[in-house]
Structure 1
């Protein structure tokens, strides 16, 4: 019998997959009906993606835009709901197109259901996308 990963373990595993640029592996951590939200997304950027396939489509070209070298300062807070965690972290690396530095602070609220990501609210800094050369996510813009 395999013991399922805790939400924190699943999240850290997902970070490793992103560093390895294993986007299909990261997407496989998602529930079929999982929802990815960007509450602070600027105009013209996606606010809500519904379903694993929508998440896969969004993330497909992520490594073509951002070469993440590390996720630093990862702090995972447990909540009174055992399936929900709050994560603080930084992603550092470079923007592929411009070869300029990438340094983004994130706060995420993640809920896991039956060992899969069911809800992921990504509170990233929208001011970063207003800088030259900052079109770094798979936004299909």
Structure 2
């Protein structure tokens, strides 16, 4: 990826890295000062991560908890700001610990500057994590 990589292309590349379980590669798409926000995070969960190192620490164990198989639905919307996209997507796979299915829908607002993610707001469903059997509860609760 280069500084001229379009945000949509960078995002799609990032999804492939997640499917490949290449977390260091995915973190490599981040700016050193990037901000990762979770506006709907329940109490006790991170609502904001500041900096690439914090993102790396948060994502480090992801493949140990969630085995992503596919993103069967990804729709990327351009905004009036060329560096910002809105993404609707669904990720599916299985929980590593139990083998149970993982199925989560997301909306993300992502800003890319100079070919790196500078701001990522992840709007996932916090109701799903109120069920301790849900994979996201196992993942996010461990961070």
* Class of the TM-score when normalised by the shorter of the 2 chains: over 0.9
In the other structure, the counterpart of 2:29 is: 29
In the other structure, the counterpart of 1:136 is: 138
* 1:140 Cα deviation from its structure 2 partner: 3.5
CA deviation vs aligned residue, 1:22-70 (integer Å, no higher than 9, x gap):
0000000000000000000011110000000000000000000100100
Relative to structure 2, which stretch is displaced further, 3-12 or 39-48? Answer: 3-12
Cα distance in 1 for residues equivalent to 2:117 and 2:138 = 23
- Runs of 4+ in structure 1 over 6 Å off: none
TM-score, L = length of structure 2? 0.93
TM-score, L = length of structure 1? 0.95
* 1:139 Cα deviation from its structure 2 partner: 4.5
How many residue pairs were aligned? 140
Contact 2:3 2:116 in 1 (8 A): no
Contact 2:3 2:115 in 1 (8 A): no
Question: Structure 2 unaligned runs (5+)?
Answer: none
* 1:73 Cα deviation from its structure 2 partner: 1.1
Contact 1:59 1:137 in 2 (8 A): no
Change (3 A) 1:131 1:139: closer
Contact 1:46 1:139 in 2 (8 A): no
The CA RMSD measured in Å over matched residues stands at 1.3
